[in-house]
Structure 1
Amino acid sequence: MDSSALAEEIRQKLGDLSPAERKVARVLLAGYPSAGFETVAVLAERAGVSAPTVIRFVNRLGYRGFPDFQAALRTELDERHASPLSLYATPGYGREPQARELTADQILGTAVTRTLAELPPHDLERAIQLLADSKRRITLAGGRFTHLLAQYLGLHLMQLRDDVRFLPDRHVERTAVLTTLSRRDVLVVFDYRRYEADKLVMAQMAQEQGSRIVLFTDTWLSPVTQHAEVVLPSQVTAPSPYDSFVPTLAVTETIVAGVLNTLGENARRHLQAAEEAADRAGLYRR
């Protein structure tokens, strides 16, 4: 099993588990990854199941026992907090002959294909439903690099529907937005390794205020996962020490297409109004 996809593997198997095993899975996901380092007895108590149920659960995931499961989790954590500098020191990033033979189209093409194939269908459809619901207000937040992805998705949504905004950078404005989140709001968060603490806090605040959370993340899964209704993981494999956001962009494009199809004529009218306003304001050169 690919240890980098451990949490996502648990999420994907939820439908195949027994009710008791699902309780174990949800405790692990809610407290991921620290919950995985509890003893079998403690994990069983937290889930309200027997110790043998915990063992059966990890066996179902393909591990020989609980120590084997925890070893895989430790390996994942090392990868989860990797930085470009630490990855550059890892063999295979541009300095090994075999790495030079791998072309960008092979690496990125495979990453996009895997991402779309492994995307949870329910989460994808739910994301489209939430973002196409005109009764909901959409707020988007990104990180160091991923604010660019948040802007890309948000600018498309602004052309298709009303009530779309970005989480402001300035503290007073950001605080004002966070304190007004409610049950009608959808908070879209982009959070990739190395995860940003403020994203976890704002997601927790949003959930407490009744907002729905759509999370774009990597296969190691951001801590925001425990508060998100929708989790959309992407591969980040790249031909350099930097994580690639090409697969995430493919997921974003897929969602934009889904929202457009769901909104139908309403989206066309909104887009037409936006074009007419831009023409009148002289924003586009003819």
Structure 2
Amino acid sequence: MASVTLAEDIRQRLGECSPAERKVGRVLLAGWPAAGFETIATLAERADVSAPTVIRFVNRLGYRGFPDFQTALRAELDERHASPLTLYTSGGYGAATDGDPDTRGGPAGLLGRGREVFTAAVDRTLAEVPPHDLERAVQLLADPKRHITLVGGRFTNLLAQYLGLHLMQLRDDVRLLPDRAVERTAHLAALGRRDVLVVFDYRRYEDDKVTMAELARDAGGRVILFTDTWLSPVSTQAEVVLSSQVGAPSPYDSLVPTLAVVETVVAGIIATLGDTAHRHMQRGEETARRAGLT
């Protein structure tokens, strides 16, 4: 299970810092993660503080010095960009034996390990979702004046579709970003102030998602991001960031905790829309029956 990221640790500790140390923290966060690899002198100059202040700041975070902090940052970035292939090798999945804790006991042992990992991941994810981000996501997605577009990645497009299908049953003006280049281009070019772009982006982040978010923001729209604990680069463009744990008993990142967040958001939308959602569902059922689509 991933621990709190360095960026999140900095955010949480800013209140403990002196005013000068807070300047260092804010400069680091504003240029994260690249700012973490600058020299002490450069960082001090950008924050308008002394070099010793930078060192005191990283000491407060629990590091012996700035090189120690940068080593931890490099390790976190390696983890942030890990792929199933690298996790397969580093986790020893290809060398599993009867003594391996993930395989001991056959199916019963595997089920026990799955229960342990998934229960902990879902519990921690829901405990760490910021209430104000959840509330804002529900507000934006339930607003009938908003046009909703959803897009995901290699695997997470399944979650974009899952959320999108639920929204289509509850409200109008919901669509998945088209796959074909001409249609996708036309849709992105038409984004405006009433648009909400919902992005699912997890490690091995996709550059096109950042561009899409920038286009939405440039047009005056809003961005909701579902991501992992290392945070997609889209987070710099997003008004709402809903992060999830991804721990799994395999080298593949789990989408189970994200699905729990998605279904929590759906529950909030249903509660917000009330009878409006109910009537929309009824119209949908009637239309499906008449069209022979049930």
The equivalent of 2:82 in structure 1 is 82
The separation in 2 between residues aligned to 1:169 and 1:10, in whole angstroms, is 38
Partner of 1:151: 161
What corresponds to 2:68 in structure 1? 68
Deviation at 1:283, TM superposition (A): 1.1
* Counterpart code for 1:72: A
Give the structure 2 partner of residue 131 of structure 1. 141
Superposition pairs of residues 20-169 of structure 1, within 5 angstroms: 23-48=23-48, 51=51, 53-93=53-93, 95=96, 97-101=100-104, 103-169=113-179
The C-alpha deviation readout for 1:222-258, integer Å capped at 9, x for no partner, is 1111111111111111111111100110110111111
C-alpha deviation, 1:262, in angstroms: 1.1
Q: How far 1:59 sits from its partner (Å)?
A: 4.0
Distance 1:213 1:17 in 2: 31
Report the alpha carbon displacement of residue 52 of structure 1 after superposing the two structures with TM. 5.0
Q: Tell me what 2:258 maps to.
A: 248
Q: Aligned residue for 2:221?
A: 211
User: Structure 1 143/91 Cα, relative in aligned 2: closer, same or farther at 3 Å?
Assistant: closer
Q: % of aligned pairs identical? A: 72
Equivalence map 1:240-279=2 (5 Å): 240-279=250-289
Question: Residue 191 of structure 2 aligns to a residue in which SS?
Answer: coil
**Partner Cα separation in structure 1 for residue 52 and residue 175 of structure 2:** 48
Aligned residues: 283
C-alpha distance in 2 between matches for 1:242 and 1:33: 24
* Greater Cα offset, 196-205 or 243-252: 196-205
Q: Which runs of 5+ in 2 are unaligned?
A: 105-111
Residue 253 and residue 243 in structure 1: after superposition, are their counterparts in 2 closer, same or farther (change >3 A)?
same
Between the aligned partners of 1:251 and 1:15, the Cα distance in structure 2 is: 28
Q: Which runs of 5+ in 1 are unaligned?
A: none
Contact 2:146/2:196 (<8 A) preserved = yes
Which has the greater radius of gyration? 2
SS in 2 for 1:99: coil
Worse-matched range after superposition: 3-12 or 76-85: 3-12
CA displacement, residues 169-222 of structure 1 (integer Å, 9 cap, x when unaligned): 111111111111112111110001111111111112222221111111111111
Report the Cα distance in structure 2 between the residues aligned to 1:35 and 1:258, rounded to whole angstroms.
37
Give the C-alpha shift of residue 8 in structure 1. Answer: 3.1
SS of 1:169's equivalent in the other structure is: coil
Superposed displacement of residue 110, structure 1: 1.0
Q: TM-score, normalised by structure 2?
A: 0.87
Alpha-carbon shift at residue 23 of structure 1 (Å)? 4.9
Partner in structure 2 of residue 233 of structure 1: 243
In the superposition, the TM-score normalised over structure 1's length comes to 0.89
